Structure formats: C-alpha cells, structure tokens
Amino acid sequence: MNHRRSHRGLIGALLAAGLMAAGCTGTGGSAKGADAEAPDDPSKVSGTITVLTHRTDIVQDGTMDKYAEEFNRTYPKVKVEFEAITDYEAEVKIRMNTENYGDVLMIPAVIKKNDYPKFFASLGSEDERSKKYRFTDYTTVDGKVYGQSPIGVTPGFIYNKKVWQEAGITDWPTTPDEFLTALKAIEAKTDAVPYYTNFKAGWPLAQWTSVNGSVGCDTKATTKLAEGDPWAKGADLRVADELLYDIVHEGLIEKDPTTTNWEASKPGTAKGDIATQWLGSWAIIQFRQAAEQAGTDPDDIGFMPFPARTDGKFCAVVAPDYNQAVNVHSDNKPAARAWIDWFTDKSGYADDNLALSPLKDAPLPDVLKDYEDEGVKFLETEDSEGATVKEIDNASEVGIYQPDYRQELVDMARGAKDGDLDDYLAGLGKRWTGAAGSLGS
C-alpha cells in the first residue's frame, strides 16, 4: 500500500472526511455511549490495546512500532499492537457489526455522524477540546467530541518549479484565466505536459471537490452545498469544474487520459516531464521522495493554491485526515485514550508526514513555507451540515466525492463524449437541488 492510499480520507479528508456517508447497518454500538477520560498518572495505566490502521505501509516497515516504543517511555505498562488493514473501509464496516473492532480505530466514512456515540467513547466536550485542537467540529455530536485526526491537509497544485520558471512564470496565477495562460506558456516553451489529469486512476479528479471554500474564502462553504446549487454561476465547484474543463478543452493535458499512471506521475513530475497536478499537501512528501529517487532536486517540487483571491489573499481550506477514536466497548479505555492523546500531541507524526499539525499553536510545516510567505489564509469550513451534504450527494447520485462525473466532464472537454458544459453543470445542479428538496433540506 502506498502513502497515497493512507489519505483516501482526503478523498476521505479534504473531500469526505467528516462528511459521513449515509448509514452503517452495524449493531455493535451501544446507544448510551461512554467517555474515554484522559488518565492523570501514566504509571497507573496498563493493559494491551489493539490499534486498527489503514497505514499498512508504515506498519510493515516498522515505523509504527517505533512510535509505540516512544509511547512506552511515558506509558511503560501499556502494550500497543497494530492491525493494518488494506481494504480498511470495507473490512472495518463489517467488523463494526460486532464489538470487536479494536481499542483504537480510524473512524470509517460509512458511519453516520449521529451514530458516533453508539460506536465510540467521547474524548471530551467540544468547548474544551476546540481551544487546543483543530477539526473538533468534524466528530462532534451533541457537544461531545468522538475522534481526533493526527494531521491536517490542504488542497493545492503540486508543480515543478523549474518547469514553470523555464516557461517564464515566477508568480502564482491569481485567476483561472491566468492559470490557463500559464499552462499555455508551459506548452509553448517547455517539453513538459502542462497538466496531468490522472484520469485513469480516477480519485485525483474527485479531489477537485476540495476547491470548495477556497474560491470564496468561505467557512460556510459546506453549509452552502446543503442549501443551494453547487454549480450556480460563481459557486466554488462551478469555478473549479470550469477550469478543469478549460484545461482539457485547450489540449493542455496528456495525449491520452485513459492511459495515465498515478505512480509514474510522481517521478514524471519530479523530472519535469509533467508540470502540474491538483492534489493536496499530503502528496508533497511522495513527490519529493520521487525526486530523490530520480536524482533530481526535491526542492523543485512546489505547491500552490487554487488561482483565486479574496481581499487580495489566497485562501486554502484545511481539513482532517482520518480521525482516531476509542471503541465504546474497549476494556482498556484509559490506555486507548492515552494512545490517541500521545499520538496527536507528542509522536511527531504530522512532522514526519510534512503535514499540518492538529494543534492550533503548532507552526506550519516547512513544505508550506511558500504559503506562509505569500500570506495564504487557512480556513476550516464548518461541518455542521456535512452529513446532510453526503445524504444529498447519495440521493442525487451526482457523486461529488467520486471521480465519475468529472471523468464525463473530461471526456466532453476532449471530444470523446458529446455534451455542452453549461447544460451538463445545470443538469448536475438540478439533480442536486431536487434531491435536497426530497430530503426536506
């Protein structure tokens, strides 16, 4: 399993993390819920805990065992065992029909947010936790928090700085039109593919939904998805989809999108064969590692926000990756809670992954220094309507967190499918608002 799959929460985090899918049929939960209180004295915490994780890569290479060794310096009487699961969502969903789903686990996206108290123990009140941590809103039910992500991520364009400079572009584009002009310069002045769709992999196209909030710099962007048409004129998703369409329509992509290769796109970008891809901050480390392996300069890998500004500033939404939670049925809740607190606060996991820390007072990672220098404004969108958005998405069968509709859009743009962009987006909007109306939202 590669590192990308560990962030399907962006596809699971920036896209769907916290926007809980419509329902788990599991019966393993307790309706009353419970609290997992933080232990006061580490020397009195003991027992064995099982941690379920989607990070098969860092379990297999021993990294998680090293974290456990460090954890044991503070909690010597707790034994931590890891269970890495490749098809995490599917397998854990089934296991949650029982009480046997580990002591600590990443909250599967399939679990409805309002059902969290049935399956997970509370970590405390949102009022208290939100003073210290980001993303508490994503797992809050009735004022209590049921999960905590160890990292935060933000969307953006991974790009090869050297290629962009060779094309004469030294400043980030500030509008979609400027971005198109930049890609055209890359096409004219370099041998690089200006933009790589990763059409065949599919999931990178779904990541365009993470533009939502950045265009209008609006913390209520998720709420607006629940209340209106995401493809109305000027709406964030329409701006994003129009730019994607124009990039493809102008022929600024690979020759045949149906033959793209995600793994090959990393060294391709590192070596300058590819200029730009829309992904997220979680991908930076992978592309820099690809540069090291290819013998090129990792510092050539840059990261830029979506080309839109509000009051002269770029904005970038930050969101959690998978949230860790304590199984409500765990017999070792103090030890499980100790692991979550230590892993979030002390492990260095965010630094190791060049990611945003969930701690509000933590500095930005070095890979986002350009964002800091340019004064990019980070914002968290309110998630109070996240579950409603997911319900509308499911009922409409649009799939804003799936690649299908954008694959259709790309096919239209490149002439492989008949259709008009305005009509297509209007159709999506009609399906969306119709579903919202039928749900009574």
- CATH code at position 439: 3.40.190.10
Q: Is the same domain home to 163 and 84?
A: no
Q: Is the same domain home to 275 and 417?
A: yes
| Domain ranges, residue 342 | 3-152+321-362
Q: Is the same domain home to 303 and 333?
A: no
Q: Is the same domain home to 74 and 8?
A: yes
Query: Is this prediction's pTM over 0.75?
Result: yes
How many helices (H) and strands (E) would you count in the chain?
18, 16
How many domains is the chain partitioned into structurally?
Answer: 2
Q: Is the same domain home to 197 and 288?
A: yes
Contact 272, 220 (CB under 8 A): no
In angstroms, what CA-CA distances link 380 with 17, 20, 149, 360?
13, 17, 14, 12
Angle, helices 262-270/284-294, rounded to nearest 10 degrees: 60
Q: What is the dihedral of CA 176, 180, 182, 184, to 10 degrees?
A: 180
Question: Could you give the angle at the alpha carbon of 418 between the alpha carbons of 412 and 419, nearest 5°?
Answer: 75
Q: Is the same domain home to 146 and 243?
A: no
Which amino acid appears at position 113 of this protein? K
Q: Is the same domain home to 226 and 373?
A: yes
**Residue at which a domain ends, from 334, 362, 390:** 362
Q: What is the pLDDT of residue 33?
A: 64
The residue among 25, 36, 21, 23 whose CA lies nearest residue 328 is: 36
**Local confidence pLDDT in tens for the 441 residues of the chain:** 333 334 444 434 343 433 333 233 344 444 456 899 999 999 999 999 999 999 998 999 999 999 999 999 999 999 999 999 988 988 999 999 999 999 999 999 888 888 999 999 999 999 999 999 999 989 999 999 999 999 999 999 999 999 999 999 999 999 999 999 999 999 999 999 999 999 999 989 999 999 999 999 999 999 999 999 999 999 999 999 999 999 999 999 999 999 999 999 999 999 999 999 999 998 998 899 999 999 999 999 999 999 999 999 999 999 998 999 999 999 999 999 999 999 999 999 999 988 999 999 999 888 888 999 999 999 989 887 888 898 999 999 999 988 999 999 999 999 999 999 999 999 999 999 999 999 874
Q: Is the same domain home to 118 and 19?
A: yes
Q: Is the same domain home to 398 and 299?
A: yes
Q: What is the pLDDT of residue 32?
A: 55
Q: What is the pLDDT of residue 354?
A: 85
Distant-in-sequence, close-in-space partners of 128: CB < 8 Å, separation ≥ 6: none
DSSP 351: H
Q: Is the same domain home to 311 and 401?
A: yes
Which amino acid appears at position 429 of this protein? G
Q: Is the same domain home to 49 and 176?
A: no
Q: Is the same domain home to 124 and 49?
A: yes
